Homo-oligomer: A and B are copies of this chain.
Amino acid sequence: MDFSFEAISAEDYDRQRSSYEPLTDALRRLIDVGIHTEVDDATVQEALRHLEAAEDLLGRVQRSGRSTLRHADTGRPVAWANPAVGLRNAIAPPMIINHEPDGSCWSEFTLGPAYEGPPGWVHGGIGALVLDHILGEVASGGLTQPRFTGTITLRYHRGTHLGPVRAEAFVERSEGVKTFARGYLKDDEGVTVEADGVFITPAWARDAG
């Protein structure tokens, strides 16, 4: 596993973000529109030609080598591609993680129709995805230390409404190579899912501690 990072300057980060973020946002809108479209086949074919043209354009230059960058100023991984927080991954809501001085994390974001399980409700597995991510963030000091999920338990109190949600997490305690983290997913009516995770420092990173 390669955990070395390439630094990206604040200027390059801002330039890439302002260029590529509108693209990811357009793809997010297309995912939503694509799920519910009922246009006829001729219109589908026309849309498909546009999508193929866009794919051809964007495929002309693809990043090679390392995909993981570290922001030169904050020291944090940029994780453009991450399916929970990646600003360049249309699968991600994306969560923007806020790190508090006490080490805790929180994120407020929206889970729209693409994350639906039972009609009107967030898919239970999406709750698991966002909680696994934010517990991992808090356990690893904002992904600055390699820590992997060992075990995570999710307790579903009730369904989570589609729409604006909040995820939060904090470290309960650390014991040797284990970090115990806890977190919550909340919708507009309060806590919906509770998570407890044990995160492990991998053997190759232990002598560094």
CA distance A128 to B160 in the complex (A): 17
Tell me which of B35, B43, B91, B126 contacts A80 (CB under 8 A).
B35
CA distance A53 to B46 in the complex (A): 9
CB-nearest residue of chain B to A130: B125
Stretch at the interface among A60-68, A100-108, A172-180: A60-68
Quick one: which of A43, A54, A86 has the most chain B CB within 10 A?
A54
CA distance A174 to B57 in the complex (A): 53
What would 18 A/B residue contacts be, using CB atoms closer than 8 Å?
Answer: A1-B118, A20-B37, A27-B30, A29-B55, A30-B30, A30-B51, A33-B55, A43-B57, A51-B51, A51-B54, A66-B119, A83-B125, A84-B123, A84-B125, A125-B136, A128-B152, A129-B129, A148-B156
A158-189 residues with Cβ-Cβ distance < 8 A to B are 159
A1-47 residues with Cβ-Cβ distance < 8 A to B are 1-3, 19-20, 22-24, 26-27, 29-31, 33-41, 43-44, 46-47
Quick one: which of A35, A114, A117 has the most chain B CB within 10 A?
A35
How many copies the complex holds: the figure is 2
- Which residues of A come within 8 Å of B, CB atoms? 1-3, 19-20, 22-24, 26-27, 29-31, 33-41, 43-44, 46-48, 50-55, 57-63, 66-68, 80-84, 86, 88-91, 113-121, 123-126, 128-133, 136, 146, 148-156, 159
Given A152-B153, A153-B151, A46 contacting B57 (CB threshold 8 A): yes
Given A23-B51, A151-B153, A132 contacting B125 (CB threshold 8 A): yes
Contact B58 A47 (CB under 8 A): yes
Nearest Cβ distance between residue A28 and chain B, in whole angstroms?
10
Contact A23 B2 (CB under 8 A): no
Contact B27 A39 (CB under 8 A): no
Q: A47-B58, A82-B116 are in contact. List 20 more A-B contacts (CB 8 A).
A: A23-B48, A26-B52, A26-B55, A29-B55, A30-B58, A34-B90, A37-B61, A44-B58, A47-B53, A48-B54, A66-B119, A83-B117, A90-B114, A118-B148, A123-B133, A124-B136, A125-B128, A128-B154, A149-B154, A149-B156
